[in-house]
Amino acid sequence: MQQISLVAPTNYSVIIYGESGSGKEAIAHEIHKKSPRAKFPFVAIDCGALSKELALSEMYGHEKGSFTGALNQKTGSFEVANGGTIFLDEVGNLPYDIQVSLLRVIQERKIRRVGGTKDIDLDVRIIVASNERLWDAAHKGKFREDLYHRFNEFSINLPPLRERKEDIMIFAHHFLRLTNTELGKNVKGFSQEAENIFKNYVWYGNLRELKNVIKRATLLTDGEKIEPTSLPFEITNFQKLNPLGNLDDDNKNMESSLRDMANEGAPFHIQEKDLNLKSASIDAEYETILAALKKVNFNKSKAAKMLNIDRKTLYNKIKEYESMNTK
């Protein structure tokens, strides 16, 4: 909030980094609300949902008859946002040639509708969001480096909900108030057991997942407080479904457990007599699984898919590694 207050009055372009569902659009909207542009439109575009064929039309508009299916003139999102703020969510997903056109728009502050002949003057603030570092994407050739520098006048890093444990119940009560209003109910809060479950869950979908869980639980609750019986099975049984546990007060989460197992580069403390190809292959397999888990923030479903195995196989292998490490 301090960073928002600092950057909002300026005309800086802003990059917001954060996982899916962590509230990047809410942060962008807050910047807009606290800026001199607040009386003008705030327009959000999901770049991941734009097809290459229609991206130019969605962003800049088109003239009637400019292509097959263009039955009427269309005003693009940039023109709608003129005077205000445009938010480009998951900007790293924009096709490379669309990035070229966007660079020209930023440099010249003009747009031209598809099929049009006139330039339209543009006065718009650009805020972008990404779940991956655009600098890294630029180095991999997936994102234009010059466009990255245009955007990177200021950046905000939004931590995932699992790293903001003190915020979980604040957001939970906020979503409960909203849902009570929506459903005309008067659920007053959460049982202590439900709160403990919330605090010990990883929240892979961040605030979006939390909001959906609260909406479902409020609908199912007849009493004054939300109980574990109103929560989804995968949340109430998270500890059982995750053999290495979860983030708790002692930080004994999956990542730290795996790192403990990989103590000083010797995951299974292999003795000299065990230095054979079988041991080496197990070691290599462990390192591959650990790398996959790290890459997907320890989401085992995604890791299993990346490793081309099912979840059950991944669970069994993790249990096997734990067993080997405790021998």
Query: Tens of pLDDT along 103-143?
Result: 999 999 999 888 888 889 999 999 999 988 999 999 888 89
**Which CATH architecture describes the domain 2-157?**
3-Layer(aba) Sandwich (3.40)
pLDDT(323) > 70: no
**Residue 309 — pLDDT band, cuts 50, 70, 90?**
confident
- Joined together, the tokens standing for residue 290 give 């650990």
Q: Which of 66-75, 200-209, 228-237 has the lowest mean pLDDT?
A: 66-75
Please report where in the chains the tokens 């979860």 appear, as a residue. 246
Whole-number pLDDT of residue 269: 40
Q: What is the mean pLDDT of the chain?
A: 84
Domain with CATH 3.40.50.300 in the chain: 2-157
The CATH code of domain 161-239 reads 1.10.8.60
Q: Choose between 11 and 292: higher pLDDT.
A: 11
**Residue 297 — pLDDT band, cuts 50, 70, 90?**
confident
**Residue 281 — pLDDT band, cuts 50, 70, 90?**
low
Domain with CATH 1.10.8.60 in the chain: 161-239
Q: What is the mean pLDDT of residues 144-166?
A: 93
**Residue 238 — pLDDT band, cuts 50, 70, 90?**
confident
